[in-house]
Amino acid sequence: MTTRLPIAGRAAPKPVDPSLDLEAEIVKLKREKNAVVLAHYYQDSDIQDVADFLGDSLQLAQAAATTKADVICFAGVHFMAETAKILNPDKIVVLPDLEAGCSLAEGCPADKFAAWKAMHPGSLAVSYINCSAEVKALSDYIVTSSNAEKIVRSLPADKTVLFGPDRNLGAWLNGRVGREMKLWQGSCIVHETFSERKLVGLKERHPGAIVLAHPECEEAVLRHADYIGSTTGILNYAKSAPQKEIIVATEPGILHQMEKACPDKTFIPAPPEASCACNECPHMKKNSLEKVYLSLRDLDPRLEMRADLLEKARLPIDRMLALS
Ligand code: 13P
Ligand code: SF4
C-alpha cells in the first residue's frame, strides 16, 4: 500500500454536510439531472465506485462522444473534460476541480507549439490527447496511448512528423514504428518518478512477477516491462496473465480495478526513486467524492470554451475517433 500524503487543494470548496450519504446523493442527482459520471482509473476508489463509465483516455472520449446524458461530470483532469466539451458543445460538462491539470498539458504552451510548427513547414503535427484545446486546434491528429501506434503507422512515410508533448511516448512510438518523429520535450511528473534501480531490486525479490508499464515511463523503466500499454491495456493484460504477482508502473489508482477483478493476484506498485507518494498524480487527486457531489448539485465548475476553439480542436479529435 502507498501512503497518501495531503494534497494541496484537496478540501472541498464549499461546506458539505458530514451526515450526507454522498454515494446515495450522487445516485439521486444523476437521475434528477440526467447526468453521467465518467471517471479515469487514476481517481480515488470511492469516485471510481460511483462512476457510470470507467476507462482510459480513448474510451472516455468515445463515451463522451456517444452519451445521451444532458450533463457530463468528468472525474479526471482538465484536458479530458475539455475533450468531452469539444465533443459536446451543447451539453453541460463539469469537472469536480477545475484546477486538476496535467504536467504534459502545462509543459506545452500553444504559442511555443505554434513556433515549433512554424520551424517545420509542411510537417504533420500529432499530439497526445494530454494537451490543451489550443494545442489540439494546432494539431493534425490527436492520439492516445491506446491508438497512437496505429495512427502513426497510417501517416505517409515521406512526411516530417512532429510529436508532442510527451517525449517518452514519442520515443517509444519511434521505436515501435521505425520512424524518426521530432519530439516535443515534455514529460509526465508521475511516470518519470519510477526508479529503474528500485524496479530491478523489486524484480529480484519477486522473481515470478511480471512488469506492466505505461508508455509515459522513461525508456530505462520500459525496457524491463513485459507489457507496455494504456491503462485499459494494462488492466486487461493483468486480468488475463497467468502470473500471480504483477508489478504496475503507472499511477496506483488503477490497482483498485485490478484488485476487484483479480482478488487472487498481488499487485505491486512500481516504486518512485524518493520515499514519497509521488507516483500518485496530484492533479487527478485534486478531485474528491465531495467535489463530485458538489459539481453535480450545483452544475459547477463548468467547462466553457470559445466557439471557434471548439470547432478547430474538434477536427483532429474526430480524425482520431474515425481511426480508432
Ligand atoms: P490512458 O489513456 O492510458 O488512460 O492515460 C492517461 C494518462 O493521463 C496517463 O497518465
Ligand atoms: Fe498528466 Fe501524468 Fe497526471 Fe496523467 S498522470 S494526468 S499524464 S500528470
pLDDT in tens, 126-170: 999 999 999 999 999 999 999 999 999 999 999 999 999 999 999
Q: Indicate whether 198 pLDDT > 70.
A: yes
Structure-block grid coordinates of residue 239: 486480468
Q: In this structure, are residues 173 and 154 in contact, taking their beta carbons and an 8 Å threshold?
A: no
Structure-block grid coordinates of residue 209: 512477477
DSSP letter string over 14-51? S---TTS-HHHHHHHHHHHTTEEEEEETTS-HHHHHH-
Closest CA to 269 of 298, 234, 304: 234
Domain 191-269: assigned CATH number: 3.40.50.10800
Instruction: Say how many residues make up the chain.
Output: 324
Confidence of residue 2 (pLDDT cuts 50, 70, 90): very low
**DSSP run (H or E) holding 212:** strand 210-213
Tell me which of 102, 131, 135 to substitute to probe ligand 2's pocket, judged by most ligand atoms within 8 Å of the beta carbon: 102
Domain 22-101+283-304: assigned CATH number: 3.40.50.10800
DSSP letter string over 140-185? SEEE-TTTHHHHHHTS-TTS-EEEESBHHHHHHHHHHHT---EE--
Q: In this structure, are residues 258 and 238 in contact, taking their beta carbons and an 8 Å threshold?
A: yes
Q: 104-187 and 191-269: same fold?
A: yes
pTM across the whole model = 0.95
Question: For residue 103, which atom of ligand 2 is closest to its CA?
Answer: 8
d(CA 51, CA 27): 10
Output the ligand 2 site: residues, CB below 6 A. Answer: 77, 102-104, 130, 188-191, 216, 251, 281, 283-284
104-187 carries CATH number 3.40.50.970 = no
Which residue, by CA, sits nearest to atom 3 of ligand 1? 230
Which residue, by CA, sits nearest to atom 8 of ligand 2? 102
Domain ranges of the chain: 22-101+283-304, 104-187, 191-269
